Amino acid sequence: MSESAVPRKVTIDIVSDAVCPWCYIGKRNLEAALAAVPDVQAEIRWRPFQLDPTIPQGGVDRRTYLETKFGARVGELQARVTEAGAVAGINFTLGAISRAPNTLDAHRLVRWAWSTGAQDAIVERLFHDYFIEGKDIGDRAVLIEAARACGMEPQVVAELLEGDADKAEVLTEIAAAQNLGVTGVPFFVFDGKFGLPGAQPPEVLQRTIVKALEESARDAAA
């Protein structure tokens, strides 16, 4: 293989919450950015964040939750999300969502999926389950089915969910992100050097990927 054919590598950490529509849009925009630089090999690591950790286990009625939080702006905000989603190729069905879940268990599942190589698939599945199918991703039966569909061992996941496995680790990661100044998601970190907040357009993500690669090349040459 010639030197020019060797893929350049970049690590991308994405701080995200499964109930954040802009995180779903950010995922699609990142996929488009990576498609524009096909000689790049990306290692993507999904990091946890909870937009509202006060939501109880079992969740709450979503319409009531949104109206309490945003008041009369709910319709306007959902229209913005739907429009941005369409641009990114996502057909949000926000009206199908009945529960606003606590996402701690979902983050535990995403964490476990890393060791099986299914992390990106699990993240995609959770976004699709919630924003397209309207499923309650705080329901452990939904999480176990997502694990099964993505090639994980459902019985193992079920047993882990019944206990406290990795709850403390997920909460520690969330606290670490907050200590670094992350207050909203998505938040992208490229090669541990460049942070980028929000669901940025593909071209912005692409430029940051190239910038990270150039910085790594300079470091290697130094």
Give me the mean pLDDT over the 92-102 stretch: 98
Give me the mean pLDDT over the 54-76 stretch: 97
Give me the mean pLDDT over the 163-177 stretch: 98
Question: Nearest 10 degrees: CA dihedral of 216, 218, 221, 222?
Answer: -110
Q: How confident is the model at residue 3 (pLDDT cuts 50, 70, 90)?
A: very low
Q: How confident is the model at residue 52 (pLDDT cuts 50, 70, 90)?
A: very high
How far apart CA 9 and CA 216 sit, in angstroms, is 9
User: Tokens standing for 121?
Assistant: 């698939």
The CATH superfamily of 3-221 is Glutaredoxin (3.40.30.10)
Give me the mean pLDDT over the 125-152 stretch: 98
Give me the mean pLDDT over the 112-118 stretch: 97
What end-to-end distance do the CA atoms of the chain give, in Å?
25
